Structure 1
Amino acid sequence: MKHGPIVRLGPSEISINCYEGGLRTVYTGGYEKHEWYPRLFGSFGTISMFSMVGTKQHSIRKRMLANVYSKSYLQGSSQLKAVTRTILFDRIFPILKDYASSESSVEVHELNNALALDFITGYIFGVPAGSNFLQEPSLRQKWLSIYHSRKIFEFYIQETPTLLSLSEALGIPLIPKWCTTANEYMENWGLEACDKADENISSTDPMTEPVVYRQLKQALEKHLIATSDSEPSEKDLAQLRLEVACETFDHLTAGHETSALTLTYLFWELSKNPELQDQLRRELRTLSPNVVPPTSGASPKLPSHKSIDALPLLDAVIMETLRVHPPIPGIQPRLTPADASLAGYHNIPPNTRVNAQAYSLHKNDDVFPNPDSWLPNRWIAPPGSSEIDEMKHWFWAFGSGGRMCIGSHFALQEIKLVVAALYTSFTTSVVDDQGMEPIDAYTTRPTSNKLVLKFGLA
């Protein structure tokens, strides 16, 4: 706000905060990713699609997976419908009914993490091979504790790799040894999920089908055969197993954290706005059938995704939550090519690190008046509104261009269904929202890591 749309942060790093000559040029113009990505997001001794620096390598992997994450595929997927019915009707509704009946205080951020993990692992691996953290609180608490324990050391991996290597060489490591144990636990858990999914790879039962796992493994096997002069060796197949494990682990970690954070902040905002909560409930009850707890003996049904997508207030509430509380507010580094021009500056040296970040893009008050306020109605306007189009240009919760989040449609479909399930039948109010300010990190969370709400029957 003080220095304009482009700022030099250091000798070879700049930050941009504009659409024309900035966001559009860098992220839809083919600027390559920075080595920051594989440093931070590698696992199993390899890297995932998200971490791949080169555009060609990324494009090959993306073609393998784009279909199963496309909006049309997700909306017609019998497997995802089976996952959704299991999680909503068998797992979360009984929990919500107990909370509402007892009028007890509930910490919902951990619950949202469990919910999101069960959704994404059920789709990747099939329900039997996925997590059931909603019904296994002690296991989810252990998993989440180990998963998050390593995050305080991410800065050193991201920004000071030379210092990190030097400290290890001197025998004074910046990252403690127990982090290695934590990493091993997470990788073993991911490999176990893959191996369970592999047992069901030929299944046609919608509950059991490992949709993403099967698509990825078969595509990688086909690519390996096409690019080899001989039959794949045991070493090749072992490496392929790690490639699959790395890719699927990246999907489930990114997929659960971001959706859980969005749900937590959305519940918080609605719990502070009971009138808007009532408006949303009235809109949700226009769905046919409603997303409600099943009656005894009845076969639960879901409304069509097209009818859910047609609800303007639901969409506005989600969009505004993602704008004000982006789950990934941090930088998305790219490298400038030769003779780059950005935001009116020319001849920027090649290999300069250039970043944009949702946090600041979403605070442009020329595009989002009163940007720090949560105002869902800003997203409701007549079709073709120029204001809405401009806001969508600047909206960056999922990135943009050829390397934007491949799971954006999955996340939005999941979040809409969960919000419909909760607010059609239940009310929420705040009990304890101390520490809802976000931490300063690439992927954020509330500083308190909790939100305590009270549930009631609507």
Structure 2
Amino acid sequence: MASVVDVLQQVQHLVKQYPVQIVVVLVVTNLLWNKFQPGLVSIPGPTAAAYTKLWRVYSVWRGSAHLDAVNLHKKHGNLVRIAPNHVSVADPKWIPIFYSTKEDYTKTGFYPIQSISWKKNPEMNLFSTRDPEYHRIEKRKVGNAYALPRLLESEEAIDSCINLFMSRLDEFASQSKAVDLGAWLQYFAFDVVGEFTFASKLGFLEQGQDVDGMMKAIEGMLIYASLCGQVPELHPLLLGNPLFAKLMPAMETWNQVLVFTLKAINNRASIKRDGELINADSEGRDMLSRWAYVKSSNPDKMSTRDIVVHLSTNVFAGSDTTAIALRAIIYFLCHHPQCMQKLVQEIDDAEHSGQLSHPISYKEATDMPYLYGVLKESMRLHPSVGLLMERHVPAQGVEIDGHFLKAGTIVGINPWVTNHNAEVFPDPEQFRPERWVEASEQQLKVMDNLWELNFGGGARKCIGRNISWIEMMKVIPELFRQYTVELTDSKKGWHVVNHWFTQQEGVICNLRRRK
């Protein structure tokens, strides 16, 4: 009987004699295993997707994954296999299951890629962590600061951003110059995040440009995260390589988001070399002030590390999704002038009856039902998130439509798919704000359950969603109260690229002051 040594020697001999053939056999075997996994083999989808993740990488690289998802579900139905171990689900009944508060379905390796390093240690934030208990602990520390009543305590600061925004737009209107309103809406969103987070604008509106290349830097980070997130096992070999952290300077010296955050903190406080936050103004209503006060009164509840991680997350994620929604609102209204006229009439009626402040308050805006419908419908038709919200099937597995998916299979729902559900939203491709105004209470509840997935679900719902909603409810009616807005070329569509967020370009507008 051959010994283990003899077998190893024979294998070594074969490898030397037939290296190419052996590699081919291993690759083919892996591809066939991917394809014929039990429970997955009968789920329809692109042919290549069943064999390799490269199909999905290519879809994300093209920036069209959101449209690919909608079209694939139209073709194949409720379940689509979009990678060897990934299943996209369209049926809305799975939303409360995949994204429950119990977090039975845990986040995948896609998420930790979107985190920072602090003092050369990886630091998970509320979005990137896969650990439900860690998420609960961190959310308890900061969650209260994102509550709607707390945020509205800073409404005057938002008003100052709106006033500055309108004055900058007036420079274009007075000279009859076209304006890239899409870019300026993001400048506005950044400065509002600055007020909520640091009690100061971040300079985007004042300078009228991408301050310190922040927008470009975040775009680059999202491209890496979205592409590498399809093959997260490569991240430890790339930017997540431990050697990278050792050989490179600390992230707080070169990462634009972290550098920008620390600069904003240092305008109000001091961070010593040992990482200790001192001399912080603890009297304000912004998040830095609130958390600095907690830290000074009870260091066990909040550390400098906690403050840096949560504030940098605001800077990273606080403007893109809001700006995408604002661009969608403008774009769809400009392409549907009858809807724009209805909204303007609603604003004018409130104005003439003396119901509006200057700028319009959040409470006043909540009394405008058509405004509510416009915002909801714009975000339904163009969600900010454009990839699968991935989750792992738990230990017991799950059966969906007769297919048993074993533990570890990656499932999820893309908001673009559920937001285009024809049973819930008849004529789903049509921009029709009236559907939100005319719906019965029961219909509205069903629609809202799908629409809410724009912000995630369950315990992992976006903690900053109230910030976005306040901004939109205030700035949109104020914009149409003061200006007539039209696209410079209504026949030319915008350009959309999906790298996790469905960013648009081409919302170039002409503005005219209304009498």
- What TM-score does the superposition give when structure 2 sets the normalisation length? 0.74
Corresponding residue SS for 1:51: coil
2:168 is matched with which residue: 95, 107, 110? 95
Match of 2:385 in 1: 328
Mapped to 1, the partners of 2:190 and 2:477 lie a distance apart of 18
Of residues 137-146 and 39-48 in structure 1, the stretch that sits farther from structure 2 once superposed is 137-146
Q: Give, in whole Å, the separation in 1 of the partners of 2:462 and 2:410.
A: 21
| Residue 125 (structure 1) shift | 0.7
Using a 3 Å threshold, how does the CA distance of structure 1 residues 42 and 15 change in structure 2: closer, same or farther? farther
Q: 1:73 aligns with which of 150, 153, 176?
A: 150
Q: Which residue in 1 is equivalent to 2:497?
A: 439
2:213 — aligned with what? 142
Q: How far is the alpha carbon of 1:25 from its aligned partner?
A: 0.8
Show the counterpart of 1:232. Answer: none
* 2:445 is the alignment partner of 1:362: no
* 1:154-233 mapped onto 2 (5 Å cutoff): 154-166=225-237, 184-198=255-269, 201-202=280-281, 204=283, 209=284, 211-219=286-294, 225=300
Per-residue Cα deviation, 1:402-458 (whole angstroms, up to 9, x for no partner): 211111122111111110110012111111464514213211112xx3321000122
Pairwise CA RMSD of aligned residues? 3.0
1:219–1:351 CA distance, 2 compared to 1 (3 A): farther
Change over 3 Å in CA distance of 1:327–1:168 after alignment to 2: closer
Instruction: Please say which of residues 195-204 and 61-70 is displaced more in the overlay.
Output: 195-204
Give the counterpart of 2:446 among 383, 387, 390: 390
Deviates more, 1:334-343 or 1:257-266: 334-343
Deviations for 1:23-42, whole angstroms, at most 9, x for unmatched residues? 11110152221232112334
What SS does the aligned partner of 2:496 have? coil
Cα displacement string for residues 255-298 of structure 1 (whole angstroms, at most 9, x for unaligned residues): 2001111111211111222332222122123057666xxxxxxx
Q: Which amino acid aligns with 2:77?
A: G
What is the match of residue 324 of structure 2? 261
Asked whether the equivalents of residues 46 and 243 of structure 1 are also in contact (C-alpha less than 8 Å), the reply is no
Deviates more, 1:217-226 or 1:189-198: 217-226
5+ residue gaps, structure 1, are 227-236, 292-299
Specify the structure having the higher radius of gyration (Cα): 2
C-alpha distance in structure 2 between counterparts of 1:354 and 1:110, whole Å: 35
Match of 1:56 among 133, 138, 141: 133
Quick one: distance in 1 between partners of 2:298 and 2:501?
A: 33
Q: Distance in 2 between matches of 1:342 and 1:224?
A: 47
**Is 1:271 equivalent to 2:350 in the alignment?**
no
Which of 460, 463, 475 in structure 2 is aligned with 1:418?
475
Cα deviations across residues 181-239 of structure 1 (Å, max 9, x unaligned)? Answer: 995233211111122233684354xxxx262123344556777636xxxxxxxxxx9xx
Between the two proteins, what is the percent identity of the paired residues? 21
Q: Tell me, in whole angstroms, the C-alpha distance in 1 between the residues paired with 2:370 and 2:83.
A: 43
Distance 2:366 2:382 in 1: 21
**What amino acid is aligned across from residue 269 of structure 1 in structure 2?**
F
TM-score (norm 1): 0.82
* Structure 2 unaligned blocks of 5 or more: 1-73, 271-278
Change (3 A) 1:367 1:131: same
Q: Would you say 1:247 and 2:324 are equivalent positions?
A: no
- Counterpart Cα distance in 2 of 1:140 and 1:432: 28
Confirm or deny: 8 A CA contact 1:290 1:302 kept in the other structure: no
Contact preservation (8 Å) 2:398, 2:406: no
Contact 1:118–1:133, Cα closer than 8 Å, also in 2:
yes
1:136–1:83 CA distance, 2 compared to 1 (3 A): same
Shift of 1:151: 3.7
Say whether residues 1:86 and 2:165 are aligned partners. Answer: no
Give the partner amino acid of 2:281.
Answer: S
> How many Å separate the matches in 2 of 1:223 and 1:25?
37
Report the more deviating stretch, 137-146 or 313-322.
137-146
Distance 2:400 2:134 in 1: 29
Q: 2:199 aligns with which of 126, 138, 142?
A: 126
Distance 1:401 1:166, change over 3 A: closer
The alignment partner of 1:427 has SS state of strand
Aligned to 1:39: 113
Number of the residue aligned with 2:365:
308
CA contact (8 A) 1:327 1:443 kept: yes
After alignment, is 278-287 or 134-143 more displaced? Answer: 134-143
1:100: how far off?
A: 2.2
Instruction: Give the secondary structure class of the aligned counterpart of 2:136.
Output: helix
The one-letter amino acid paired with 1:387 is: Q
